[in-house]
Structure 1
Amino acid sequence: MMNLLFSIDDRFYRQMLTTLLSIHLNSQPQRIDVYVIYNGQFHHEGVLKRGIQKLGMTFHPVRIPRDDFVNAPVTDRYPTTIYYRLLAHKYLPADLDRILYLDADILCINDLQPLYETDLSRYMYASAIHTNLTNVTETINKIRLQNFDADGYYNSGVLLMNLPKIRQRVHAQDIFDYLRNHLVLLPDQDVLNALYGDQILSVPDQLYNFDCRNLAIYQTISLGEWTLDWVMKHTVLLHYCGREKPWLTTVNHGRLTALYKNYYQMANRYLKD
C-alpha cells in the first residue's frame, strides 16, 4: 500500500496524471491512495478522478475550507497554497501514519517502494539535499535560516512524512509567526528547513530527487559514474525543477526533457476520456 499526496490547481492536473502514470508503469504496490489538496473551485476534479481510477488507484479529494487561513500571513508572495504541504496533517485522515508528497513536475522511472518504506521512526520527514550541486548556496541558507543542526537545505518537492510525529510538533501558529518575523525566499521550503530541518532524514538526491537541469553536473561530481544510462537504471524520481517546464513546447533542456514529453504524451493518450 502507498499513500501519495499532491497539491495542485487547474493548471497542473495533466502533469499530476503524468506523474501518476509513471508511478503506475514503474512501481507496483498492491494499492495506491492518492490525496489531492486544493482550495476553492477545481474545475477538473472529474477528469482527475477518472484518470486516477483508470490507473487502478483511489482518489481522495482534500478540500481546504476557504476561511481556514484567515489569520495566516497571505500576500501575493505568500499565497495560501504555501501552507498546504506543511499543514496537510490537519486535513488528512487521522488513521494515516505515512504519506509521500510529490510535486507535479516529477517523473518516476524506477520502483518507488524502497523510498516509501524508508525507516522514519526517528524523523518527521525524509527529503533530499542537492548538496554537491549547491555547496555555497547551502552554507548561505544555513546562515540565513539559522538551522545549523540540519544536514543542509532540503528540497520540499519530494517529502516523505511521518504523520504521527508531524501531528505532535507542527503547528500552524508557529509557521504563521515565522513568516511574519522573517524575510524568506521560498516560503514553504524555507519554513520547512528553518523550523524542522533537524528532524529530516537525508535521502540521496541522485536517486530520489534528481535535478534534471544538472545532468552534466551530476556526471562530473560522480567522476563519470552517474551517466544517463546510470540514471535510467538507478534513479527513481526525476524532478524538473525551475521555471521552464518540459511540457511547454518551446522548452528543451536535453535528453531528459524528451523523456518527460514522451510520458506526457502517453498520459494524454492513455487517460483520454
Structure 2
Amino acid sequence: MRKQYNIMTSCDNNLVPYVAVGLTAMAHNLKDADIDFFFLHSHVSRNNIEMLEALCEELENCKIHFHEILVPHAEVYSELAEYGTGWTGEAYYSLCAHLLLPDEIDRVLYLDAGDTLIVGDIAPYYHYDFQGKSLVVTGSRYKPYNGNLELFSADDLGDWKEGLPGILRGIFNSGSYMMNLDKMRKDERTLADYQYLSLKLRELFGDDNHNIYWGDQGLLSATFVGDVRYYGFPEIRNLWYMPYNFCLWYYDRMNEKPNYSPAILHFAGTAFKPWNGTYPIFTERFQKKEQLHSMNELKNGQAGYFYLWHEYAIMANTILDKIGF
C-alpha cells in the first residue's frame, strides 16, 4: 500500500532554489509515496513556481503533487514578523494553514524552507497520535519540576520571570512539526487571533522592542503552549532526542552520533548554511562563490550531513538542467 503525506513549506524567491534540493531529497527517501506538497507564498516569481512544478513532475521514486497556495494579507504576517527575531513574514504563513489548505486536508507536516532535508522514513512522526493536541513537535524546552522534566502549560504564561521568556524563546523547534488542521478549524483560529496575541505582548514589552518572540517558533509556542504533544514524551525526556527535527547544533555538545537515525535534518545552529560550503564540485545554481566558507568551520560530526545536502543539490541541478531551467 502506497503511503500518502501532506507536506508544506513557505518562503520568498531567495529560498526557492533550496526548496528544489529539499524536494529532490524527499523523492529519494520517501519511495513509493504519494505526496501533496503545498507551497505557500505571496510574491514568488512565476518562473520559480514553474520550476518547482516541473521538478516535481520529473522526480522519480515517488509522486509529488505540487500545489501553489497564494497567501492573502501578506502585510499582516510581515507585521507579526516585525516583532520576532530574524525571520520574514513568510515564516509565519503556517499559522493559518488550516484556512489556506483544502478542507479535506486533516494534517500536514510543516518544514522550514531551505535548511531542512528529509533523509529517512517520516511515517512514525507523520502518523503520531495528536491525542487531541493542535501540534506534534520536537521539544526544545522543558520545565524542571520535582526533579523531573515536565511540559510547560498555559499557566506558565503568567510567570514573567522564567515561564513567559522561555516560552517566547520557543518550547519547540519550528524546523519541522505536525499540524492538526481539523482541530485548528474546530477551534476557529484566525489570523486576528495571532494579531491580538502579538499586540498584547507588545503592550507588555513595548512597541519599540522588536525582539519580543523568537520568530515563528516563539509566537507558535505562546499560542499553543499546553496544546502541543512532544514526540516521544513522556517515555523520553531528552533535549537531544530529535529524530524528526535533527538540529545540527547537537554537535555543539556531543562528539558522537545520536543513538537513532535522523529522518529529518535541520541545518540550524551551524557556522553557515549548507549552500555556503566549499565542496569539490561548485553548483552555481545553488551557490555564490563570494559566500563560500571552509568546511573546517564546522563542528566535528556536522560535515557529513553537509556533503549529503550537496549530493541532493547535484541531483536537483542535473534534473533542472535537463528540463531547461
TM-score of the pair, normalised by structure 1: 0.82
Tell me if the contact between 1:147 and 1:194 (Cα under 8 Å) persists in the aligned partners. Answer: yes
Instruction: Report the residue type matching 2:94 in the other structure.
Output: R
Is the CA contact (8 Å cut-off) linking 2:244 and 2:265 kept in structure 1? Answer: yes
Residue 157 of structure 2 is aligned to residue 153 of structure 1: no
Give the gaps of 5 or more residues in structure 1. Answer: none
* Equivalent position SS for 1:13: helix
Q: Which amino acid aligns with 2:119?
A: I
Contact 1:211-1:240 within 8 A present in 2 as well: yes
In 2, the alpha carbon distance for the partners of 1:46 and 1:141 equals 49
Check conservation: 2:77, 2:90, Cα contact below 8 A.
no
1:202 aligns with 2:212: no
- 1:245 corresponds to: 273
* Bigger shift: residues 67-76 or 13-22: 67-76
Match among 23, 32, 45 for residue 42 of structure 1: 45
Check if 1:111 corresponds to 2:118. no
**Alignment correspondent of 1:19:** 22
1:96 positional shift: 0.8
Work out whether residues 83 and 213 of structure 2, in 8 Å CA contact, stay in contact via their aligned partners in 1. no
Cα 1:25–1:195, aligned 2, differ >3 Å: closer, same or farther? Answer: same
1:100 aligns with 2:100: no
Aligned residue number for residue 96 of structure 2: 87
Q: How far apart, CA to CA, are the structure 2 residues paired with 1:266 and 1:26?
A: 13
Are the counterparts in 1 of residues 10 and 112 from structure 2 also a CA contact under 8 Å?
yes
- Give 1:88 shift: 1.5
Partner of 2:185: 167
Paired residue secondary structure (1:161): strand
Letter in 1 for 2:196: D
TM-score, structure 2 normalization: 0.70
Change over 3 Å in CA distance of 1:24–1:143 after alignment to 2: same
Tell me what 1:54 maps to: 58
2:163 matched to which residue of 1? 143
Cα distance, 1:41 vs structure 2? 4.3
The CA RMSD over aligned residues, in Å, is: 3.0
Aligned residue identity for 2:17: R
Which of 311, 316, 319 is the equivalent residue of 1:262?
A: 311
Q: How far did residue 143 of structure 1 move?
A: 2.0
Give the superposition deviation at 1:156.
1.3
- SS state at 2:179 partner: strand
Shift in alpha-carbon separation, 1:72–1:114, aligned structure 2, 3 A: same
Larger radius of gyration: 2
After superposition, the Cα gap between the structure-2 partners of 1:259 and 1:142, relative to the gap in structure 1 and judged at 3 Å, is farther
Please give the per-residue CA displacement for 1:218-268, whole angstroms capped at 9, x wherever unaligned: 45xxxx5x45xx56xx11011001472111132432332222222222221
Structure 2: distance between partners of 1:102 and 1:77 = 22
Indicate the percent of aligned positions where both proteins have the same amino acid. 24
Alpha-carbon deviation of 1:111? 0.9
Of the structure 1 ranges 159-168 and 175-184, higher mean CA displacement relative to structure 2 is found in 175-184
Q: Aligned residue for 2:281?
A: none
1:43-96 CA-partner distances (Å, limit 9, x unpaired): 40110110112123111000013x465598457556532430111111110111
Instruction: Point out where structure 2 has 5 or more consecutive residues left out of the alignment.
Output: 143-148, 206-211, 233-240, 278-291
* Residue-by-residue CA offset, 1:173-229 (whole Å, 9 max, x unaligned): 22101112215232321111112021111125431111113336245xxxx5x45xx
